Amino acid sequence: MKVSFTQPEKQLSPYVALIWVFESSFGVPLADSRIIVPDGRAKIIVPYRNSLCAAVNDRLLNAKEHQIFLVGIQSNPTTIASTATDTGTIGVELTPKGLYHFFNLSMHEITNRMVSFEEVFGPPGARLQNRVGDAEDPQEKITLLQTALMHLLQKNEKEYALLDHTLDMLAQTHGMMRVQELAAHIGYTKRYLDMLFKEHIGVSPKSLASILRFQELYQVWMQHKSPTLFRNHWPAYYYDQSHFIKEFKRFTGFTPQHYTAIVNEFGRAFHARQ
C-alpha cells in the first residue's frame, strides 16, 4: 500500500488542500479498519484501477473505475472497501472554499454523498472523464484534472468575499471560535450564516467548526499515535471530558480508548503530509 502526494498548482492552492494517489496491489487492506474521518474537505475521487465502495450512514456509495466523482463534505465516519486486486485511486481534496468557487450546486444535497462529473456537468463532464481515463499515468491524469479546475475557477465570476473571510476565521482559530462570535464579527445574523453555509458548503458553521477542532487533535494523534495524547491534549480543545468523548465518537464511531487499539494504517497514510 502506497500513498504519494502532488502539490496543487499555485492558482488552485486556496481551493485545493492536497492531491494524493493511493496504490495497492491487493486493494484496500481488509485487516485494517479503513476508516476515513470527517476533515471538512469535499473530494474529487478518480478510481483509475479497480472500483471503490464507501459505507457512510448505513448507505453504500460505489465509485466505478474510470469515472470522476465529487464527494461532499463528510459529517460522519466513512469505511472504504475494494476487491483484493491491483488498485489505483486519485484524490483531490478541496478546502471548503473550493466547493463554491468550482461548483454551482446546492452543497447540502451532496453532504455525505457522491455524484459523478457526468451528472454535474453533462456532456463536458463525460468528455473530461474520457480524457482522464485515456491518460497513461496518474500524473497525466492529475494534470488534466487541475487544468479542468482552473477552467472552472476562471469561469466562475461570482464574488464570495463574505464566505471566504468567514472560512478564513474558522480555519485560523481551528474551529475554536463560537458561531455567535463569528456572526457578530462579520455583522450578520447566525441564521443568515447558517443559510449561506448550508447552500455553499453543505454543513452549518457549528458543524464545520466542530470538525476543524476535532481535526486539530486527530491529526497530531495520527502522526504520532501516542496512547496518552488524547488524555493530555483534549482540555485545550473541549469544555470537559464528556464533550470530547461525545465528539470523538461522533466523528470516528468509537470512544478514544477503543480507537487507540484499532488498526487504521489506511487512514494514517493520508496524514503523512498534512
pLDDT single digits (tens) 40-67: 999 999 999 999 999 887 788 889 999 9
Q: What share of the chain is helix, strand, coil (3-state, %, to 5)?
A: 45, 20, 35
Confidence tier at 227 by pLDDT (50, 70, 90): low
The mean pLDDT of 144-173, rounded to a whole number, is 93
How far is CA 107 from each of CA 170, 234, 247, rounded to the nearest angstrom? 19, 31, 23
Residue partners of 152: CB distance under 8 A and separation at least 6: 101, 102, 103
pLDDT single digits (tens) 76-121: 999 999 999 999 999 999 999 999 999 999 999 999 999 999 999 9
Amino acid at 27: G
pLDDT single digits (tens) 119-141: 999 999 999 999 999 998 999 99
- The answer to whether the Cα torsion of 162, 167, 173, 175 is positive or negative is positive
Domain annotation for the chain: domains and CATH numbers: 2-155 (2.60.120.10)
CB 202 within 8 A of CB 107: yes
Confidence tier at 172 by pLDDT (50, 70, 90): very high
Global pTM?
A: 0.92
Residue partners of 160: CB distance under 8 A and separation at least 6: 97, 100, 101, 200
